[in-house]
Structures are given as C-alpha cells and as structure tokens.
Amino acid sequence: MSEVKAQIDTNPSQEEAKAVVDIIMERYTDKTGLLLNTLNDIQDLYKYLPKETLQRVFENIGTSHEDLNSMGDFFDNLSLVPTGRYVIEVCDGTCCHIQGAPQIIDRFEKELGIKSGEVTADGLLSLRPVSCVGACGVAPVVQSGDHVYGCVRLIDISAIITSIREYAKTKDDPELSAMLTILAERGFTHDA
C-alpha cells in the first residue's frame, strides 16, 4: 500500500488550471447547468475554487465575477478559500460546548499545528467548528465525512487524527485519479 496517494496541486499554475477546467467542461455536452456543474466539479476536485480555475471558467463561459456573485444561493456550497481534503468538524453547539468543545478545538489546533479554518501543510486536513450536528446524546461530537466520533475526550484526539489519516491512505477517489491520469498524459505530474 502506498504511504500517500498522489494529490492534485491545490494551488495550480495558470496552465494546469486551464487544462483542468477545459477537461471538466468538455464532459458537458448539455450546456444547461454548465456553470454550476463545472463549479461543483472544481470544488470536488480541489475542495475549493482556486482563482486560476475561476478565471478559466469566466473565459470559457463568457461570464464575469459579478454574474457569479449574483448567484449567491448556490455559493453556499462552494468555497473560495482552501479546505483540506478531509474537514474535521468539531461540534460547538450548546451541548457540546458545555461538554468541552472549546478544549477539544484547542487540542486539535495544537495536534494539527493549524488554527480553525486553516489547512495542514499536506493539504489533507482542515479544522472547522460547526453548530449542532444532531448527536447531542453523545456530546461532545467530532465528525469528518461519514465518520462520527461521540463522547470525545482530549486523549482521543490524537487517535482520531491518525484514523482519518489512515482512512485517507486507503480511500479511492475515482474522479481525482481519473483527472490525475489525464493531467499526467498532458505533462502535468504530481508527487505520490
């Protein structure tokens, strides 16, 4: 098993961003929903919308930042700032807050070497406090993707980080793999 899977560069060069956007947009023969579908695909790939990719989308589709900003509702699902491939969400709703969520957030920040809202140097993890996730019976709660950790203690945090990192090594991302293959064929390589 490889130690680390190849990752896409989350700060792509102008040339690579153009290639990625063109590859994505070529998939959509039906122009209905092209902009939203393209932005969602970029978000899935990078976990945010790098500005280099947006510039290419604007060029291809003939729209502008102003048009995009006016589509505020769907922007809720999209991010203009980088997030980790896996986001560690620490519930800071009332129950979890009383049960020690602030201390849990502090410990995650120390263990990861980042502040809430930041991304680890390898681009894998980011940390985000969230409001009630609906599991108050097992507060305090931490979740990442489909994984939910209940009754979290400070001494559990290192193991939670390790488990997410181990999961990341084994989890296949077919879309990412396919894109990396196409990019490699076009001369854009990424470290494994």
Please say whether the dihedral angle defined by the alpha carbons of residues 104, 105, 108 and 109, taken in this order, is positive or negative. Answer: negative
Q: How far is the CB of 81 from ligand FES (least distance, A)?
A: 24
Per the CB < 8 A criterion, the answer to whether 176 and 45 are in contact is yes
Q: How far is the CB of 103 from ligand FES (least distance, A)?
A: 14
Total residues at interface with ligand FES (CB under 6 A): 12
Kindly tell me which of 94 and 158 has the beta carbon lying closer to ligand FES. Answer: 94
Q: Name which of residues 140 to 169 contact ligand FES (CB under 6 A).
A: 141
Per the CB < 8 A criterion, the answer to whether 94 and 100 are in contact is no
Q: Map tokens 């939203």 to a residue.
A: 36
Q: Name which of residues 7 to 66 contact ligand FES (CB under 6 A).
A: none
Which of 21, 68, 119, 135 touches ligand FES by CB under 6 A?
135
Which of 23, 34, 78, 133 touches ligand FES by CB under 6 A?
133
Q: Name which of residues 57 to 86 contact ligand FES (CB under 6 A).
A: none
3-state secondary structure of 142: strand
Residue 88 binds to ligand FES (criterion: CB under 6 A): no
Q: Map tokens 């680890």 to a residue.
A: 120
3-state secondary structure of 2: coil
Kindly tell me which of 10 and 116 has the beta carbon lying closer to ligand FES. Answer: 116
Kindly tell me which of 94 and 162 has the beta carbon lying closer to ligand FES. Answer: 94
Give the x-and-dash track for 93-112 against ligand FES (CB under 6 A). Answer: xxxx----------------
Per 3-state DSSP, the chain is made up of helix, strand and coil in percentages (nearest 5) of 50, 10, 40
Per the CB < 8 A criterion, the answer to whether 65 and 75 are in contact is no
Q: How far is CA 176 from CA 11, 20, 24, 84, 173, in A?
A: 15, 11, 12, 14, 5
Kindly tell me which of 78 and 136 has the beta carbon lying closer to ligand FES. Answer: 136
Q: How far is the CB of 123 from ligand FES (least distance, A)?
A: 27
Question: What are the φ and ψ backbone dihedral angles of 156, each rounded to 5 degrees?
Answer: -85, -15
- Return residues touching ligand FES (CB under 6 A): 91, 93-96, 132-136, 139, 141
